[in-house]
Structure 1
């Protein structure tokens, strides 16, 4: 397992990041397809044994139970300082506590630390942009968390490039800590970040940690094949409902290239993301040991320029996702 530098920061992480939305109590939150603790723990252990040291979750995943499962599992497997632990702030099951106000941030970090059973988070990310809170209030609060020792680095997730640029400018102007990473959606069926966000991050030395690099599983199987998750994943349905025909064309090429190289489709889709400039560690999720084994087996796959061009050719632009 290789390790990669996050942008121009001093943080290094494994070349893949485990997305922990899959781990959570099914009856809590809005993801009935998640795995309870007894099914999650062996999968987390599998990743640790393979050399993965980067785990990403969020305070809202399965009503906080994703963080709880990580906190109960990781530290029984490996010392705290061997793991790069990332979580997020913005949402809350109670709308009264949502957003990126100083009050919300200070409350949420303590709740997350309690669930994760740790004194600090390595990478604390704002889950979305908050249009109602002054940017300066948010950036100063995040900087204070670093000064208090509760957070080591800060990152951001899906938003418009101009919003991200304003937040970075506010931090640098006031001597606060800027973001080192951007967790945005990048896949063969969602390439809108190529327009502004990725060039901005490359210019500013911000590392890319893509979410849904396999299109929420759609790039891992022929078009139209449904799974339990795709049938119950309301957010995934929202993301791709309007682009099914265009996506099917891309998925067809992924199938063709996968046959050529003798690899599963998911390995081809992930290889394309990993070869993009600025990408540090794609976030991968899995619910079965064999899925993770396939991910590991594909880390040596390098696509040719011709294969990349063919994979990209059918893409049709769509409305950007900002929430």
Structure 2
């Protein structure tokens, strides 16, 4: 599997990534099957796994964390790239519709809380790519930039981005 640099971040991601949400993250889908999908992808060279703190009614991150725990038994932490998102307070992937942004919180306190919880859920010590989810540019402000910069300085995240 070829790797490519993600922007100018220095992070190398597989050309194929695996999105960890939807039915994969649903509690009705067997946990062992979901974990086996991740392990199989990893063994075939996929190193990029993307999820969100709220995906699959808040089940996707902990499930991916269980898979990551198994990967880390056979490979070092720097062999995987974990991406997650913050800002959404509802158990599904929001759109940029005004109704969905009503259910969002992009305050520095919420971003810090979500980042800490995501690291705990994902069992991975840090987040490689931490994204603002369902985000509108008019929400950007100096306080948010400071918070995101602090997360990087503290080693909690390697790169930040926006996902809409």
**TM > 0.5:** yes
Task: Measure, in 2, the Cα distance between the counterparts of 1:102 and 1:148.
Answer: 15
Counterpart of 1:100 in structure 2 is: 106
Displacement after TM superposition at 1:10 (Å): 1.4
Task: Measure, in 2, the Cα distance between the counterparts of 1:56 and 1:135.
Answer: 26
So what's the TM-score if we normalise by structure 2?
Answer: 0.82
Larger RCO, structure (CA 8 Å, separation 6 or more)? 2
Gaps of 5+ in 1: 28-34, 159-323
Counterpart of 2:35 in structure 1 is: 41
Task: Measure, in 2, the Cα distance between the counterparts of 1:132 and 1:39.
Answer: 41
Of 157, 162, 165, 2:163 maps to: 157
- Residue 119 (str. 1) matches residue 125 (str. 2): yes
- Residue 85 (str. 1) matches residue 104 (str. 2): no
Displacement after TM superposition at 1:9 (Å): 2.8
| Structure exhibiting the larger radius of gyration computed from Cα positions | 1
Counterpart of 1:18 in structure 2 is: 18
* 1:97–1:148 Cα change, 3 Å: farther
Of 134, 140, 148, 1:142 maps to: 148
Q: Which is helix-richer, 1 or 2?
A: 1
Task: Measure, in 1, the Cα distance between the counterparts of 2:36 and 2:125.
Answer: 24
Contact 1:58-1:89 at 8 Å conserved across structures: yes
State the number of aligned residues: 151
What is the alpha-carbon root mean square deviation over aligned residues?
2.2
Counterpart of 2:58 in structure 1 is: 64
Counterpart of 2:44 in structure 1 is: 50
Task: Measure, in 2, the Cα distance between the counterparts of 1:131 and 1:7.
Answer: 20
Counterpart of 1:4 in structure 2 is: 4
Contact 2:27-2:59 at 8 Å conserved across structures: no
Task: Measure, in 1, the Cα distance between the counterparts of 2:110 and 2:103.
Answer: 6
So what's the TM-score if we normalise by structure 1?
Answer: 0.43
* 1:131–1:123 Cα change, 3 Å: closer
Q: Which is strand-richer, 1 or 2?
A: 2
Gaps of 5+ in 2: 92-100
Contact 1:71-1:117 at 8 Å conserved across structures: yes
Deviations 1:88-130 (A, max 9, x none): 0110139998321111101111111111112200010111225
